[in-house]
Amino acid sequence: MNAILELFNYDFFQKAFLATVFASISCGIIGSYIVARRIVFISGGITHASFGGIGLAFLLGFNPLLGAVLFAVMSAMGIQFFTKVAEIREDSSIAIWWSLGMALGIIFVFLTPGYTPNLMSYLFGNILTVTSSELWWMFMLNLVIVLFFTLFLRQILYIAFDEEYARTAGLPVDLYNYLIMTLIALTVVLNIRVVGIILILSLLTIPQASANLFTKDFKKLIVLSSMFAFIGTMIGLFISYFLDIPSGAAIIFTLVLMFGLLRVVKIFV
């Protein structure tokens, strides 16, 4: 126990702790929405497409997260465009953007002169190396998401549940959808440092699956999955530190284990 408490004296661990709090809240909220709306696959596409932006940033020498945001938003819009205007089936257009982003990323990284040391931390995440400026961005995003979902929860919920009915009631459905798509893209990108591109879907779906065992109420689902995300990430973080294994993988392993345990608990309660 003392060993755990001592960890909080370290600057890197304090940052990791804050990153965990921010990631849990943003992924708890956005993940609940994604799961409820069944758009997990779209979110996966956006996440992986953002790798193209990271590659571009390496090549041209600017902030990789900025490149990731650029590609994430672009692919979110691109998927919509391919589906609605170009009339490509939705799952196919998701797959196209998913692989295109990854392919561009690999080309850009390959063309970048010299060694790119951080690449692995973007693919698989490393919560222990999160910087202060990244934390600030995560804080701002959390503020926006929490405010948006608190003030407009009803509209968001009703549109997600029955878009057509919401339209007949005169709600600006398209505006809400675009805003939330943008928030999804930003959430994905800013949490890349925590678990990485390959693994981010886990933070958006596993805590929600756990929470869904105990509630079918959207509001409670958000709160409960944020809590589960926090607990799982913290335990994963300790495991990662003490066993010296990659943090992203340790976090996901813990989240899945937690889900399994809770599923068993559910049988008895």
Partner 1 sequence: MKPLVKIENLTCAYDKIPVLENVNLEVNERDFLGVIGPNGGGKTTLLKAILGLLKPVKGKIAFGHDLQGRKKPIGYLPQVRHIDKKFPITVFDVVLSGSIMNGIYRPSAEERQKAEQLLVEMGILDIRHKAIGELSGGQMQRVFLCRALLSDPKLLILDEPDTFVDNRFEGELYEKLRALNKEIAIILVSHDVGTISTYVKTIACVNKSLHYHPSNIITQEQLEGYNCPIQVITHGEVPHTVLPYHHH
* Binding residues vs partner 1 (CB under 8 A): 32, 36, 38, 151-152, 154-155, 157-158, 160-162, 164-171, 212, 215-218, 221
Work out how close the CB of 184 gets to partner 1 at its nearest, in angstroms, rounded to a whole number.
Answer: 17
- The smaller minimum CB distance to partner 1, of residues 58 and 82, is found at 82
Annotate 180-200 with b (16+ C-beta within 10 A) or e (fewer). bbbbbbbbbbbbbbbbbbbbb
Q: Give least dist CB 34 to partner 1, A.
A: 12
DSSP state of 197: T
| Least distance (Å) between residue 1 CB and partner 1 | 37
Q: How far is the CB of 89 from partner 1 (least distance, A)?
A: 15
Nearer CB in complex with partner 1: 69/204? 204
Tokens found for residue 12 = 């890197």
The CB-of-141 to partner 1 minimum distance in angstroms stands at: 21
Using alpha carbons, select from 231, 238, 246, 232 the residue that is nearest to residue 3. 238
Nearest CA among 55, 57, 226 for reference residue 142: 226
Q: Which is nearer to partner 1, 192 or 222 (CB)?
A: 222
Q: Which residue has the tokens 């926006």?
A: 144
Cβ distance to partner 1 smaller for residue 117 or 170:
170
Q: How far is the CB of 211 from partner 1 (least distance, A)?
A: 9
Neighbouring residues of 21: CB distance < 8 A, sequence distance ≥ 6: 230
Q: Name 212's Cβ contacts closer than 8 Å, sequence gap at least 6.
A: 35, 221
Angle between helical axes of 40-60 and 64-84 (0-180°, round to 10): 140
Please identify, using beta-carbon distances, which residue of 123 and 157 lies nearer to partner 1: 157
Q: Which is nearer to partner 1, 139 or 152 (CB)?
A: 152
